Amino acid sequence: MQNKIIRASSLSDFADCQRRMITRQYPDIISQVVAPRETPENIAAITGTAVHKAAETMLNDKRDTGSISISRSIEAGVSELNRQLADAAGNTAFDDTTRDQSTAEKQVKKMAGAYEPLARDIETEYTELHLTARLPGGWKSSGHIDVYGHGVPRDTKTGKMKSVHIFQAGNYLLLLKANKYTISDKTWIDFIRRVPVSKSQPPIESSFYNSHVAMKAAEIVIRRVMWTIEDFEKNGKIENIPANPMSMMCSDRYCPAHSTELCKYGKC
């Protein structure tokens, strides 16, 4: 296997459904059994990336110039949204909260506005800090840390519901530690809720994990990912990779294995 990379952003997915994560992240080895089918681009992910771009613009401007232009940041976010939708070439799965491109643009503007108070409050050294670290057996860990400043990493999350991201946050800490960055005793998650445009935009919600606990949690999942892939390479048995049909993401919209020979569990 050549693609022996574990992405920090995939660890929460693995904890939710191992088979979905493995099929998504390592289609080259899963194709030994059946080629996974393609899934549409998800509007939740697209709007999230757009909001990240707006937040990144705010923080970089503040760091480099001492001021924030909310209009410039929103413009950067909307531009990123439209670029991704164009790249998807009509293969985008919208949902009940974001039914079309016009709605998505309005939501990105509101969500970017919700990030502004935090951007004015925190000190930033780096945004989108890309780090890698070697792991046993020729594996490598990789991740992009949204915000890092004076030992404190922060990860921006968006969505309709707040989720648990301790494994991803812990992996970021491990990457920082491996690359000799200072880390504090807390790692922060900043959540911006995606709501219908008819509703008021809730303020950003910031919470933290204990850094030691998060790193230990990430180490366990990383070891499990490596073992699962190596076991599949030896025996080719997809049934040995657990699936979770109770997952909120168990759908052909999100999972390339759903309702194929790779996974027939599917919700009833």
pLDDT at residue 265, as a whole number = 82
> Could you state, in order of their start, the residue ranges of all structural domains in the chain?
1-37+123-268, 40-121
pLDDT at residue 104, as a whole number = 98
pLDDT in tens, the chain (268 residues): 567 999 999 999 999 999 999 999 999 888 888 888 888 999 999 999 999 999 999 999 999 999 999 999 999 999 999 999 999 988 999 999 999 999 999 999 999 999 999 999 999 999 999 999 999 999 999 999 999 999 999 999 999 999 999 999 999 999 999 999 999 999 999 999 999 999 999 999 999 999 999 999 999 999 999 999 999 999 999 999 999 999 999 998 899 999 888 998 865 4
3-state secondary structure 113-182: HHHHHHHHHCCCCEEEEEEEEECHHHCEEEEEEEEEECCEEEEEEEECCCCCCHHHHHHHHHHHHHCCCC
CATH of 1-37+123-268, picked from 1.10.10, 3.30.420, 3.90.320, 3.30.1370, is 3.90.320
The pTM score is 0.94
pLDDT at residue 268, as a whole number = 44
pLDDT digits over 1-34, tens only?
Answer: 567 999 999 999 999 999 999 999 999 888 888 8
